[in-house]
């Protein structure tokens, strides 16, 4: 058991000697050991972001190949098996391996910085969830690259996923890979929740949380609840496939619909989990470029939470055609309508922020503000699918494909690209090129809308989803050609983004600590921040600590250069959940290879399960045991052994 | 123009849905236009454009709280939302619920990748089974009982009725009523494997008298062969095709594939993949795996003579 540390911390002023002492305490090792063992949330955050962006490019290339196949009727570029694996892998990549991890990356990097802390609550768990994410992504892609990619869509309905209809390893890779990935998400979610409630700078009470905390916290609270449903579903499927259980098999009184319930009770909250943090990027970033605080902060924060709670009650709208009773469907239909309202709160808060502020057009502003319109387009098409009888026509046509892409590109990718333009200077110390940024934005924007706006019509004209080819004379030829052209324009936009990042990394203008004159705590540290983030723990007196003197709020003074020094070890501050009153000193762990070792052990275990080789499973278990032992070995600097004095 | 489009309707159930679809489209377009205009005008207020320096140069102000915007937004969104909600519930009540007293009852079983259609009747000798082409009388409610043959599929005839999944282990109900004669395309819309793309069917709505004639014809067994070619062809069909298919009135009685008794009366073969005709039928028999990879029918590898004979007989199955 760790002994809590209730000493009263020394209060002092930032100084050069203090900083060098902190650097000595916090700077990690170099070399391979440092690379594998780092627990610095900033390094882990950037790893998440880079990995997720690479996977975004993979998913994009898969989409381009499919768009070539669909550019005209009777395409012959791909055979059905190739097409099925491509669209399934595309969905898996974008929804699971890109959309959440990219947001977790930003949150990982930014949370301690916006909260005024020195790291996440559980730094080693943080490293662990990254390694698991990386290895599960590799696991899933090994399947794809050996011709064993998922082939039943990301939703993976049974019985097509069962062994009778799908005898290859495809679905075993996917089932096990998804359970594997779920470990990462669950560990990350727990870490975010504790970090949000227990590691905030003094004074950062709940009503002063930056929106990125609300968005990510809400999303991860949901993840913690729903990941078990999907992990269970995939586990049952794997048991059905490999050990002859009958959870989904009608010949043993199993229920195919059970899969759909388990999947969508996870799947719909997940959709909110991959947009709410991105929406919070807009809520934090847009006001900076409107030169005023966000309009209606408490309403936007509450609407975030409300969306998530309602989001638990709408999963059946994915199943309106499955023959469920009308009364049941009417409940889920109504919930799906009501969930529009909290979204309207956010949209009008953003619009009001633009109208009541003094907007400055930058690339980040363009991404954030254009997102509002795409959010609305993706929102109204979702509203249409809430009308059950109309959904009987819309569902499983390209209308829903258009909808999901407005949601996932409009509400996830656009805010993410905006967030890169906004926070890149903090992460790298360099500004991104605004001229190239404008090209990047407009080409991405035009390409995206050219590809996906006409797709609504393709859907209304009846084109079914997930077909590897289509006949001519159905009225879809021209629309599909436009979508293919648009998707390549979009790809050029993304390419320009990558070029801009690389160019700016190499030769961007120095950013300084606060290039945008933004109000959040993260802008009070140097760019890039030192390993310890803050030399002294800031004290927060308002929602916009760096803007206080200009907003004319009398008597409100946050402090960023005088505060708790916490330099007697690797220390940070623990605070109370609601009011963020400091209540203990946290002792943060040193770098450790235990998370890496544990993740390697888990990988070996999953490979063993895939191959059903007990020997390999045994090695995995041993490695996991060793990693756990190393991790949990009581350490004096963490006050896990005999009490220390001073 | 758009055989699978659902912005026009030719049947009762689709007619119930269509106004709701237009209502939600109208609301959606209106909302998008309003927001786009608000956003455009708001962004146009920007006095400054550039990067970090321009941002820093613009002073920060508190300004008005703006909470009234949110109140207005909720109010504006709430009204159309409520209208759509009530309309949805009314349309749902009207469209769901199978007809109490259907004029015709069909049992449709979806298979990878074709549709088995069984016509139910009070007298067992009035029942029959066909595939991929569903004839119905105009103006009568048709109850459709949907069965899952293997994996999940979805039954959809956009001009007549919305989608209902066919799920193994349960029987789902749908219904349709055509209000004018015509051929309406249907399509599987739940992803079901390699040939999900080629799992179409047709609903042929006919005046009741014509439907009765079609029904009487479907009840007939296959005609006896009249030429030596046809006779040889029949033996071949019974021996080869009969392993999976049924031809009424012959020894070919297997139920694994579509019933061939009246195959030439249907307008397409292989679930909407090819138009029916001697040429396409020959192509299909020779190379089903090239035309529809993954389907259960193997390439036949018949000699030229065998193919001619088989076709001669199959062409009589009208």
Give tens-digit pLDDT for A561-602.
999 999 999 999 999 999 999 999 999 999 999 999 999 999
Structural domain contains residue A448: yes
Test A153 with B187 for CB contact under 8 angstroms. no
Q: Which of A272, A271, A317, A54 is nearest to A154 (CA)?
A: A271
- Contacting B residues, span 276-295, partner chain A, CB-CB under 8 Å: 293-294
Residue A543, φ and ψ in degrees, nearest 5: -75, -25
Q: Which chain A residues have a beta carbon less than 8 Å from that of B32? A: 373, 376-377, 380
pLDDT tier for residue A646 given thresholds of 50, 70 and 90: very low
Find chain B residues with C-beta within 8 A of A395's C-beta: 163, 189
The CATH architecture annotation of domain B228-314 reads: Sandwich (2.60)
**The two structure tokens encoding residue A239:** 């048991």
> Contact B70/A352, CB-based, under 8 Å?
yes
Per-residue pLDDT at A644: 53
Contacting residues of A for B60, CB less than 8 Å apart = 291-292, 517, 519, 547, 550-551
| Residue B73 · residue A348 · CB < 8 Å | yes
Contact pairs from chain A to chain B, CB under 8 Å: 321
Please tell me whether residue A5 adopts helix, strand or coil conformation.
strand
Verify whether the Cβ–Cβ distance A431 to B52 is below 8 Å. Answer: yes
Q: What are phi and psi of A33, to 5 degrees?
A: -65, -40
Q: Is it the case that residue A378 has pLDDT exceeding 90?
A: yes
Alpha-carbon distance of A483 to A476, in angstroms, equals 11
Look up residue A483 and give its two tokens. 């979508």
> What is the percent of chain B with per-residue pLDDT over 90, rounded to a whole number?
95
Whole-number Å distance between alpha carbons of B78 and A343: 12
A497 close contact with B: CB closer than 8 A: no
Largest CA distance in chain A: 83
Closest CA to B158 of B101, B202, B107: B202
Give me the pLDDT at residue A641, please.
79
Q: What is the pLDDT of residue B235?
A: 96
Contact B16 A389 (CB under 8 A): yes
**pLDDT tier at A635, thresholds 50, 70, 90:** confident
Calculate mean pLDDT across residues B125-147.
Answer: 97
How far is Cα B135 from Cα B211, in angstroms, rounded to an integer?
A: 7
Over the stretch A121-177, which tens digit does the pLDDT of each residue have? 999 999 999 999 999 999 999 999 999 999 999 999 999 999 999 999 999 999 999
User: The domain that contains A369 carries what CATH number?
Assistant: 1.20.210.10
Give the DSSP H or E segment for B118. strand B114-119
CA-only gyration radius of chain A, Å: 25
Q: Given this model, what pLDDT does residue A645 score?
A: 57
In a domain, A616, yes or no: no
* Contact (CB, 8 A) for A185 and A223: yes
Tokens 């039954």 found at: B155
From the list A511, A382, A560, A552, the residue with the least C-alpha distance to A456 is A382
Q: Which member of B28, B60, B169 has the closest CB to residue A292?
A: B60
Residue A195 has pLDDT above 50, yes or no: yes
In this structure, are residues A383 and A406 in contact, taking their beta carbons and an 8 Å threshold? no
Domain count, chain A: 1
Is the CB of B88 less than 8 angstroms away from the CB of A295? no
CA-to-CA separations, A338 to A251, A283, A400, B78, in angstroms, rounded: 40, 22, 20, 9
Q: Is B33 on the interface with A (CB under 8 A)?
A: no
State whether residue A172 sits within 8 Å of chain B by CB: no
What ranges in B136-248 are assigned the alpha helix state H? 208-219, 228-239
For residue B45, the SS3 value is coil
Q: Where is pLDDT greater, at A639 or B8?
A: B8
Asked whether the beta carbons of B304 and B231 are under 8 A apart, the reply is: no
Tell whether A642 is covered by a domain: no
Q: Please give the DSSP secondary-structure letter assigned to residue A406.
A: I
Measured between CA atoms, the residue of chain B closest to residue A88 is: B191
Helix A363-386 to helix A340-355 angle (10° resolution) is: 150
Residue to substitute from A264, A341, A392, interface B, most B β-carbons within 10 A: A392
Q: What percent of chain B has pLDDT over 70?
A: 100
Helix or strand or coil: residue B161?
strand
Q: Is residue A185 part of a domain?
A: yes
Distance of alpha carbon A174 from its chain centroid, rounded? 20
Give this prediction's pTM: 0.96
Residue A575 lies in a domain: no
Q: What is the DSSP string of A269-329?
A: HHHHHTTHHHHHHHHHHHHHHHTSPPTTHHHHHHHHHHHHHHHTT-GGGG-TTS---HHHH
Of B5, B32, B172, the CB nearest to A462: B5
Contact at CB, A464 and B62, closer than 8 angstroms:
no
User: Which residues touch A285 (CB under 8 Å, ≥6 apart)?
Assistant: A364, A368, A415, A418, A419, A422
pLDDT at A239 over 90: yes
Of A272, A525, A281, nearest in space to A420 by CA: A281
CA–CA min distance A340, chain B (Å): 8
The sheet that has B128-131: what strands, in order across it? B128-131, B114-119, B104-111, B142-148, B171-176
CA nearest B89 in A: which residue? A330
Chain A contacts of B83, Cβ < 8 Å? none
Q: From B158, B163, B182, select the one nearest B110 (Cα to Cα).
A: B163
Cα Rg of chain B, angstroms = 27
**B49 inside 8 A of chain A by CB:** yes
Q: Establish whether this prediction's ipTM goes over 0.90.
A: yes
Kindly report, residue by residue over A469-483, the tens digit of the pLDDT: 999 999 999 999 999
pLDDT of residue A643: 61
Q: How far is CA A356 from CA A43, A290, B61, in A?
A: 37, 8, 10
Is A547:A571 a contact under the CB 8 Å cutoff?
no
Contacts of A84 in chain B (CB under 8 A): 193-194
Q: Which of B63, B73, B167 sits opposite A256 (nearest CB)?
A: B167
Give yes or no for B17 touching A (CB within 8 A).
yes
Domain presence at residue A424:
yes
Closest residue by Cα to residue A577 from A112, A207, A197: A197
How much is the pLDDT for A66? Answer: 98
**Closest alpha carbon to A531 in A23, A17, A46:** A23
Whole-number Å distance between alpha carbons of A229 and B122: 46
Q: Do A160 and B151 touch (CB under 8 A)?
A: yes
Signed CA dihedral, A487, A492, A497, A499: sign only: positive
**Averaged pLDDT score across all residues of chain B:** 95
Average pLDDT, chain A: 96
Owning domain of residue A108:
19-507
Q: Which residue of B has its CA nearest to A336?
A: B85
pLDDT in tens, B177-189: 999 999 999 999 9
Q: What is the pLDDT of residue A639?
A: 84
B47 touches chain A (CB under 8 A): yes
pLDDT for the residue A555: 75
Q: Is the pLDDT of residue A531 over 80?
A: yes
Model confidence pLDDT, tens digit, residues A45-64: 999 999 999 999 999 999 99
Query: B182 has which bridge partners?
Result: B205
C-alpha triplet B278, B119, B231: angle, nearest 5° = 35
The chain B residue lying nearest A250, using CA atoms, is B169
Rounded to a whole number of angstroms, the distance from the CA of B157 to the nearest CA of chain A is: 9
Question: Looking at the complex, does the CB of residue A480 fall below 8 Å from at least one CB of chain B?
Answer: no
Count CB atoms within 10 A of the CB of residue A91: 21
What percentage of chain A carries pLDDT values higher than 70?
Answer: 99
B residues 123-162 lying closer than 8 A (beta carbon) to A: 146, 148, 150-152, 154, 158, 161-162
Of A1-5, A19-23, A319-323, B277-281, the range with the lowest mean pLDDT is: A1-5
State the nearest Cα–Cα gap between B50 and chain A, in angstroms.
Answer: 5
Query: Is residue A543 assigned to a domain?
Result: no
Q: What's the average model confidence in pLDDT over B243-256?
A: 95
Per-residue pLDDT tens digits for B148-201: 989 999 999 999 999 999 999 999 999 999 999 999 999 999 999 999 999 999
Residue A279 lies in a domain: yes
CA distance A423 to A418: 9
Cβ neighbours of B38 in A, within 8 Å: 351, 355
HEC profile of A345-396: HHHHHHHHHHHCCCCEECHHHHHHHHHHHHHHHHHHHHHHHHCHHHHHHHCC
Report the SS3 class of residue B18: helix
| Three-state secondary structure call for residue B201 | strand
All structural domains of chain B with their residue ranges: 12-95, 228-314
CA distances for B275 relative to A304, A329, B112, B278, B288, angstroms: 54, 39, 19, 10, 14
Residues of chain A contacting residue B46, judged by C-beta atoms under 8 Å apart: 358-361
């Amino acid at each position: 058991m760790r002994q809590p540390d209730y000493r009263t911390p020394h209060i002092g002023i930032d100084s050069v000697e203090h900083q060098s002492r902190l650097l000595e305490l916090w700077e990690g090792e170099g070399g391979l050991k440092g690379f594998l063992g780092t627990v610095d949330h900033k390094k882990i955050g950037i790893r998440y972001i880079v990995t997720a962006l690479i996977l975004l490019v993979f998913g994009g290339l898969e989409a381009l190949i499919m768009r070539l196949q669909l550019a005209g009727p009777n395409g012959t570029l791909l055979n059905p098996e190739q097409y099925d694996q491509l669209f399934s892998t595309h969905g898996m990549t974008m929804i699971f391996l890109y959309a959440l991890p990219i947001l977790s990356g930003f949150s990982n990097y930014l949370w301690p910085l916006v909260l005024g802390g020195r790291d996440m609550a559980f730094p080693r768990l943080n490293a662990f969830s990254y390694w698991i994410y990386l290895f599960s992504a590799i696991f899933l892609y090994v399947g794809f690259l050996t011709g064993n990619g998922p082939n039943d869509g990301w939703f993976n309905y049974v019985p097509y996923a069962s062994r009778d209809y799908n005898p290859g390893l495809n679905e075993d890779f996917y089932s096990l890979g998804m359970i594997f990935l779920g470990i990462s998400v669950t560990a990350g979610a727990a870490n975010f929740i504790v970090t949000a409630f227990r590691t905030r700078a003094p004074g950062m009470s709940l009503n002063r949380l930056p929106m990125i905390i609300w968005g990510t916290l809400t999303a991860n609270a949901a993840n913690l609840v729903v990941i078990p449903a999907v992990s269970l579903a995939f586990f049952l499927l794997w048991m059905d496939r490999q050990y002859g259980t009958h959870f989904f098999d009608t010949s043993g009184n199993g229920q195919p619909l059970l899969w759909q319930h388990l999947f969508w009770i996870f799947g719909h909250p997940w959709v909110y989990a991959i947009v709410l943090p991105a929406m919070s990027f807009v809520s934090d970033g847009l006001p900076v470029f409107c030169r005023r605080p966000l309009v209606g902060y408490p309403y936007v924060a509450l609407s975030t939470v409300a969306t998530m709670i309602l989001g638990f009650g709408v999963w059946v709208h994915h199943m309106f055609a499955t023959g469920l009773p009308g009364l049941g469907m009417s409940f889920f239909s109504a919930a799906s309508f009501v969930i529009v309202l909290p979204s309207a709160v956010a949209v009008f808060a953003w619009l009001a922020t633009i109208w009541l502020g003094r907007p400055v057009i930058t690339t980040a502003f363009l991404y954030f503000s254009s997102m509002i319109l795409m959010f609305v387009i993706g929102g109204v098409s979702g509203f249409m699918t809430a009308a059950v009888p109309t959904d009987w026509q819309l569902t499983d046509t390209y209308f829903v494909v258009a909808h999901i892409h407005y949601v996932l590109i409009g509400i996830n990718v656009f805010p993410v690209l905006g967030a890169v333009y906004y926070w890149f200077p903090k992460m790298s110390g360099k500004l991104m090129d605004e001229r190239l940024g404008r090209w990047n934005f407009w080409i991405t924007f035009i390409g995206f809308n050219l590809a996906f706006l006409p797709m609504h019509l393709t859907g209304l004209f009846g084109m079914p989803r997930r077909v590897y080819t289509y006949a001519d004379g159905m009225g879809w030829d021209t629309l599909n050609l436009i979508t293919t052209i648009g998707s390549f324009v979009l790809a050029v936009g993304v390419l320009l983004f990558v070029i801009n990042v690389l160019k700016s990394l190499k030769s961007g203008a120095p950013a300084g600590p606060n290039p945008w004159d933004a109000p959040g705590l993260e802008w009070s540290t140097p760019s890039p921040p030192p390993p310890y983030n803050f030399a002294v723990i800031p004290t927060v007196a308002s929602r916009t600590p760096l803007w206080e003197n200009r907003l004319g709020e009398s008597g409100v003074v946050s402090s960023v250069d005088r505060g708790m020094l916490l330099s007697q070890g690797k220390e940070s501050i623990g605070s109370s959940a609601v009011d963020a009153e400091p209540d203990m000193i946290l002792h943060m762990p040193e770098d450790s290879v235990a998370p890496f070792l544990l993740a390697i052990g888990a990988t070996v275990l999953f490979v063993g399960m895939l191959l059903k080789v007990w020997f390999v499973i045994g090695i995995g278990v041993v490695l996991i045991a060793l990693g756990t032992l190393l991790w949990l070995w009581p350490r004096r600097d963490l006050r896990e052994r005999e009490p220390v004095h001073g | 123009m758009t055989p699978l489009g659902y912005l026009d309707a030719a049947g009762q159930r689709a007619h119930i849905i269509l106004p709701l679809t237009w209502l939600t489209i109208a609301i959606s377009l209106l909302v998008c236009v309003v927001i786009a205009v608000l956003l455009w005008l708001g962004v146009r207020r920007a006095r400054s454009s550039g990067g970090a320096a321009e941002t820093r140069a613009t002073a920060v102000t508190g300004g008005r709280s703006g909470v009234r915007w949110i109140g207005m937004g909720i109010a504006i969104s709430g009204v159309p939302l409520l209208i759509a909600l009530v309309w949805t519930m009314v349309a749902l009540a009207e469209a769901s619920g199978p007809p109490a007293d259907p004029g015709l009852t069909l049992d449709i079983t979806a298979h990878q990748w074709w549709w088995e259609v069984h016509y139910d009747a009070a007298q067992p000798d009035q029942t029959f089974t066909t595939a991929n082409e569903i004839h119905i009388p105009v103006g009568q409610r048709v109850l459709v009982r949907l069965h899952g043959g293997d994996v999940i599929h979805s039954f959809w005839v956009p001009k007549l009725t919305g989608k209902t999944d066919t799920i193994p282990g349960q029987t789902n109900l749908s219904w349709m009523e055509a209000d004018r004669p015509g051929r309406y395309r249907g399509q599987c819309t739940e992803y079901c494997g390699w040939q999900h793309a080629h799992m179409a069917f047709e609903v042929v709505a006919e005046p009741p008298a014509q439907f009765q004639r079609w029904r009487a014809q479907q009840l007939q067994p296959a005609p006896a062969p009249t030429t030596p070619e046809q006779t040889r062809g029949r033996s071949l069909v019974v021996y080869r095709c009969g392993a999976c298919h049924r031809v009424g009135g012959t020894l070919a009685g297997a139920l694994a594939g579509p019933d061939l008794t009246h195959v030439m009366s249907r307008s397409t073969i292989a679930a909407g993949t090819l138009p029916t005709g001697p040429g396409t039928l020959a192509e299909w028999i020779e190379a089903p795996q090239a035309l529809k990879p993954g389907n259960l029918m193997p390439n036949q590898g018949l000699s030229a003579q065998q193919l001619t004979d088989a076709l001669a007989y199959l062409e009589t199955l009208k």
